[in-house]
Amino acid sequence: MATEQVFEVKGYTLSADRLYDPVTHLWVEPRHDDLVRIGFDPLGRETLGDVVQVTFEAVGITVRRGEPFGSIEAAKFVGPLVAPLSGALRAHNEALLADPGLLNDDPSAHWLVELEPANGVELEGLLQGEAAVAPWFATEVDRYRSQGAIAE
Amino acid sequence: MTDGVLRVIDAGRVGPTRSQSLWHGIAAAMEPDSSPTLSFCRPARPYVGIGFHRRLDELDLEACRAERLPILRRQIGGGPVYLDSDQLFFQLTMPAGRAPAGVDRLYALLLEPAAAALRALGIDARVDGMNDIAVGDRKLSGTGAGQVGGGVTVVGNVIFRFPHERMARVLAFPREDMRAECLRLMRRYVSSLADEGFGHVDEDQAKAALRESYASALGLRPVDGALDERELAAVGRWQRRLRSREWLLGPDLPARTVRQVKVRAGVWTFAGGDDGLSVLATVVGGRFERVSVAGAGLNGAADGMSVALAGAEAEPVALAGRLERFGDHGRKLLQVLEPGLVLR
């Protein structure tokens, strides 16, 4: 089993093998079967607070980038889960539906949905690799810290 | 915010559905350059609201029918609530791109003005925890937040009077002593302006204080406004959605093994059971205030376990320590208790 390559940015652990969407703060992990898994990056999760519930659109439905593929609740705030890619939903993470609190422990370990991307163009628009991800993520950490959205 | 204006919309007394579609529509129609909007309304008739991610079976549907209370699901969080004309609803909605990043910061920015408005009326209110507005240890306002379309909304209410008994009647409980416990906790921890000796404060005073406080906190000039055509259309769409059966049923959510009712931040009661063992427990400030364990097969251990858990920290490791001497009975009870420690 291959070991996941990770790197640190200002105290947060990110994966060199995943793509990151700077708009939604979600990661996208390409799979060998033409599907991708989608999950929260550490900032996306931390700014939400403690997650108490997630729900997803039905498997089989097609979503477009920028549109909701589900919803999430933390501290009585309900927000949309916004798709970083267009495509067809192929699976939900049933473990998360049963125990949404898993996301609070480690968002990198728990995917939300599996999606079959509609095209490769949108994938190319995401950030991948330490050289591309680290500067963006460092700027985001600084921005959130300056706003008081995350701890110093 | 570009024009420095806080738009204020006062919808007055409206029907139950409109009291929800109003702010859902304002948020849904919000564009990146829209002015933040403070909206008010007061439901003309009582009804029951339920949070987006809650199962309808948390409500006693027969009781709601008997009391002629419509049920409306909102696209923000939190549990079922009883709402009536003794409450003034307020909502602060702003473009999602301008809302503070971070849910805790959103509440801090947009609930503190509400607490300040109550203080301006002479009430010693403060934001307690992340999102309660309280006087002492008593909750004085229900709150919630969410993103609907392009707008982020924080909602709250000014409770002039609150019928605790009626609220307890519309909730579903697996056992009647849980209803009684819930009512006890609500009487103790959910207050109102009347209960706090401010029954003389009227709707106009509350609205004026909120308007002034939000405008000051956001550095904006309050300007009376009205819904524009886009907003009216969005309100109309939400009116239809809120009335639809599909929306009312809500998302498909798994049933929980415990029935849990949160009364205010840090105060909740839950009931659960498995394999002949049942428990009713109340947590206040992170510790078990009351625990009642029952079970025919416990060989007299039920009372001992109830006593052992009283005052215990509501946390699995601490509970395991208290229950260790009860062997298998203790381990079984811990399994029943654990889901109730996770607040939803």
DSSP state of B114: H
Q: Can you say how many angstroms the Cα of residue B128 is from the centroid of all Cα atoms in its chain?
A: 14
φ/ψ (deg, to 5) at A125: -80, -10
* Cβ–Cβ gap B75/A74 under 8 Å: no
Query: Using a CB-CB distance cutoff of 8 angstroms, which residues of chain B are in contact with residue A148?
Result: 102, 105
CB of A104 within 8 Å of a chain B CB? The answer is no
For position B129, what pLDDT does the model report?
A: 86
Residue reference for tokens 């395991």: B320
What span, in angstroms and rounded, lies between the C-alpha atoms of B252 and B199? 42
DSSP state of A45: H
Pick from A76, A92, A150 the residue to mutate for testing the B interface (most B CBs within 10 Å).
Answer: A76
What value does the mean pLDDT take over residues A80-99?
A: 95
DSSP B122-164: T--EEEETTTEEEETTEEEE-EEEEEETTEEEEEEEEES---H
* Cβ–Cβ gap A47/B53 under 8 Å: no
Query: Using a CB-CB distance cutoff of 8 angstroms, which residues of chain B are in contact with residue A80?
Result: 147
What value does the mean pLDDT take over residues B242-257?
A: 94
One-letter amino acid at B141 equals: S
Name which of A80, A97, A144 is nearest B102 (Cβ-Cβ).
A144
What span, in angstroms and rounded, lies between the C-alpha atoms of B182 and B110? 29
Is A43 within 8 Å of A140 (Cβ atoms)?
yes
Distance set, CA B188 to CA B111, B138, B143, B264, B284 (Å): 23, 7, 19, 10, 11
For position B241, what pLDDT does the model report?
A: 98
- Spatial neighbors of A85 by CB under 8 A, at least 6 apart, are A28, A36, A38, A65, A115, A117, A118, A122, A123, A126
pLDDT band at B2 (very low <50, low <70, confident <90, very high): low
CB of A131 within 8 Å of a chain B CB? The answer is no
What value does the mean pLDDT take over residues B298-310?
A: 92
Task: Give yes or no for residue B337 having a pLDDT over 80.
Answer: yes
Pick from B103, B148, B256 the residue to mutate for testing the A interface (most A CBs within 10 Å).
Answer: B103
CB of B107 within 8 Å of a chain A CB? The answer is yes
Query: Using a CB-CB distance cutoff of 8 angstroms, which residues of chain B are in contact with residue A97?
Result: 254
What value does the mean pLDDT take over residues B199-220?
A: 98
Burial of B62 (0-12, 13-18, 19+ CB in 10 A): exposed
Task: Please write the tens of the pLDDT for every residue from B135-160.
Answer: 999 999 989 999 999 999 999 999 99
* Cβ–Cβ gap A76/B145 under 8 Å: yes
pLDDT band at B344 (very low <50, low <70, confident <90, very high): confident
Instruction: State chain A's mean pLDDT as an integer.
Output: 92
pLDDT band at B35 (very low <50, low <70, confident <90, very high): very high
Q: Strand B5-14 and strand B221-224: pairing?
A: parallel
Continuous H helices in chain B? 16-28, 61-66, 103-120, 164-170, 176-189, 203-218, 229-243, 245-249, 301-309, 316-323, 327-341
What span, in angstroms and rounded, lies between the C-alpha atoms of A66 and A48? 18
DSSP state of B313: B
- Spatial neighbors of B89 by CB under 8 A, at least 6 apart, are B19, B23, B40, B41, B42, B43, B83, B155, B156, B157
Task: Please write the tens of the pLDDT for every residue from B87-98.
Answer: 999 999 999 999
Task: Please write the tens of the pLDDT for every residue from B59-73.
Answer: 999 999 999 999 999
For position B331, what pLDDT does the model report?
A: 94
CB pairs under 8 A between A and B: 82
Is B133 within 8 Å of B124 (Cβ atoms)?
no
* Cβ–Cβ gap B77/A76 under 8 Å: yes
Task: Give yes or no for residue A26 having a pLDDT over 50.
Answer: yes
* Cβ–Cβ gap A52/B77 under 8 Å: yes
φ/ψ (deg, to 5) at A106: -160, 100
Percentage of residues in chain B with pLDDT exceeding 70? 99
- Spatial neighbors of A105 by CB under 8 A, at least 6 apart, are none
- Spatial neighbors of B127 by CB under 8 A, at least 6 apart, are B107, B108, B111, B112, B115, B133, B134
**Closest-CA residue in chain A for B52?**
A78
For position A43, what pLDDT does the model report?
A: 92
Task: Give yes or no for residue A1 having a pLDDT over 60.
Answer: no
What span, in angstroms and rounded, lies between the C-alpha atoms of A29 and B276? 45
Task: Please write the tens of the pLDDT for every residue from A105-116.
Answer: 889 999 999 999
Name which of A47, A55, A80 is nearest B53 (Cβ-Cβ).
A55
Query: Using a CB-CB distance cutoff of 8 angstroms, which residues of chain A are in contact with residue B75?
Result: 78
Other beta carbons within 10 angstroms of residue A67's beta carbon come to: 13
Name which of B51, B105, B251 is nearest A147 (Cβ-Cβ).
B105
Name which of A55, A77, A143 is nearest B106 (Cβ-Cβ).
A77
For position A49, what pLDDT does the model report?
A: 85
Task: Please write the tens of the pLDDT for every residue from A60-79.
Answer: 999 999 999 999 999 899 99
What value does the mean pLDDT take over residues A77-96?
A: 96
- Smallest CA–CA separation between A73 and chain B, in Å? 6
Structure tokens of A129? Answer: 């690799």
For position B1, what pLDDT does the model report?
A: 45
CB of A119 within 8 Å of a chain B CB? The answer is no
Least confident of B91-105, B160-174, B259-273, B312-326: B91-105
Task: Give yes or no for residue B40 having a pLDDT over 80.
Answer: yes
HSE-CB at B52 with a 13 A cutoff on CA atoms is 28
Task: Give yes or no for residue B179 having a pLDDT over 80.
Answer: yes
Task: Give yes or no for residue B58 having a pLDDT over 50.
Answer: yes
Instruction: State chain B's mean pLDDT as an integer.
Output: 95
Residue B265's SS3 state is coil
What span, in angstroms and rounded, lies between the C-alpha atoms of A147 and B188? 37
Q: Strand A36-40 and strand A26-30: pairing?
A: antiparallel
- Spatial neighbors of B30 by CB under 8 A, at least 6 apart, are B37, B93, B94, B95, B96, B149, B150, B151
